[in-house]
Amino acid sequence: MNKKGLSIFLGTTLLVGGVAGFVYQNEVSDFFDLLYTPNDPAAVANDFWKVALSENKARAKGYVSNPQEYEDFVEGYSKYDRASIERVDEQAQTYYVKTQLKVYRDEVYSIPLFTVVTSINGKYKVDVEATKLSVADAAFDNVISYYENAISGGEKVLHFTRDDQVNPQFIAVAKQQLRHSLCNLAVNSTELLSGTKDALFTECEPSADTK
């Protein structure tokens, strides 16, 4: 193989290997990491989690916005731990990278969150504290997405509509169940986090109108 052909082959191999490493979250070497770390919010988030979930967690501080105060915040380690990137939302030059963690400990935990990425002196870095606080928001984002997809699919497949009008009985049941579920979610979540039950919303009090 001549020099030009060899260069093309190596370049193609690195490109394909880089994409595979990014998409499938496979472990790669330190040498390969140096070859594939573009200054892109999703790539930085991906590489941060790749290191933060590894045995060598200390390297993750190189990806965070405040490395002086960075501490490992993923308890334990398993070679099966993974993070997958789902989408990137941008608001006021801050990037919210929807991330799904799958962590293996005494049981398997699926933890949704937004990896919050900001620009520090032209380099994208992960805001660890904002990322920690995003778990509840990301979990609710999953719930809303699942609910909307179920309703949309049910309407198309199970014929909720009659003459282009949604069945009033379905609307009534859906409203009542949605209210009941959200109230239970609020109570259970606050009890889990604070140890005390709190209705959060006046609509969730027992005396509230249930229509």
- DSSP string for 159-180: T-EETTEE-HHHHHHHHHHHHH
| Structural domain boundaries, residue 66 | 3-133
Asked if residue 143 and residue 127 are part of one domain, the reply reads: no
Residues 6+ apart with CB under 8 A from 118: 65, 93, 94, 95, 124, 125, 127
- Per the structure, how many domains does the chain have? 2
Q: pLDDT tier at 151 (50, 70, 90 boundaries)?
A: confident
Sheet containing 108-120, strands listed edge to edge, beginning at the edge strand earlier in sequence: 82-91, 94-104, 108-120, 123-126
Q: What mean pLDDT comes out for the span 189-203?
A: 69
86-91 CB contacts, 8 Å cutoff, 24+ apart = 88/41, 88/42, 89/114, 90/41
Rg (CA), the chain: 23
- Quick check: 37 pLDDT over 70? no
Q: Specify the pLDDT at position 210.
A: 44
Asked if residue 111 and residue 71 are part of one domain, the reply reads: yes
- Quick check: 171 pLDDT over 80? no
- Quick check: 167 pLDDT over 60? yes
Classify residue 211: in a domain, yes or no.
Answer: no
Nearest of 80, 60, 77 to residue 69 by alpha carbon: 60
Per the model's pLDDT, the better-predicted residue between 129 and 172 turns out to be: 129
Distance in angstroms (rounded) separating the CA atoms of residues 40 and 124: 7
Per the model's pLDDT, the better-predicted residue between 204 and 53 turns out to be: 53
Asked if residue 96 and residue 144 are part of one domain, the reply reads: no
Domain edge (last residue) among 101, 133, 165: 133
The listed range with the strongest mean pLDDT (54-58, 100-104, 165-169, 173-177) is: 100-104
Residues 6+ apart with CB under 8 A from 32: 17, 18, 21
Q: Specify the pLDDT at position 111.
A: 96
Domain edge (last residue) among 98, 117, 133: 133
Distance in angstroms (rounded) separating the CA atoms of residues 132 and 207: 36
Take residue 104 and report the two structure tokens written for it.
Answer: 């293996």
Classify residue 23: in a domain, yes or no.
Answer: yes
Asked if residue 154 and residue 124 are part of one domain, the reply reads: no
Classify residue 154: in a domain, yes or no.
Answer: yes
User: pLDDT tens-digit profile of 127-150?
Assistant: 999 999 999 999 989 988 998 888
Give the lowest-confidence range in 49-53, 105-109, 168-172, 173-177. Answer: 168-172
Asked if residue 107 and residue 18 are part of one domain, the reply reads: yes
Asked if residue 90 and residue 31 are part of one domain, the reply reads: yes
Classify residue 209: in a domain, yes or no.
Answer: no
Asked if residue 57 and residue 27 are part of one domain, the reply reads: yes
Q: pLDDT tier at 31 (50, 70, 90 boundaries)?
A: very low
Give the lowest-confidence range in 54-63, 159-168, 185-194. Answer: 159-168
Classify residue 152: in a domain, yes or no.
Answer: yes
Q: Specify the pLDDT at position 205.
A: 66
User: pLDDT tens-digit profile of 103-126?
Assistant: 999 999 999 999 999 999 999 999
Distance in angstroms (rounded) separating the CA atoms of residues 116 and 123: 14
Q: Specify the pLDDT at position 18.
A: 40
Asked if residue 30 and residue 89 are part of one domain, the reply reads: yes
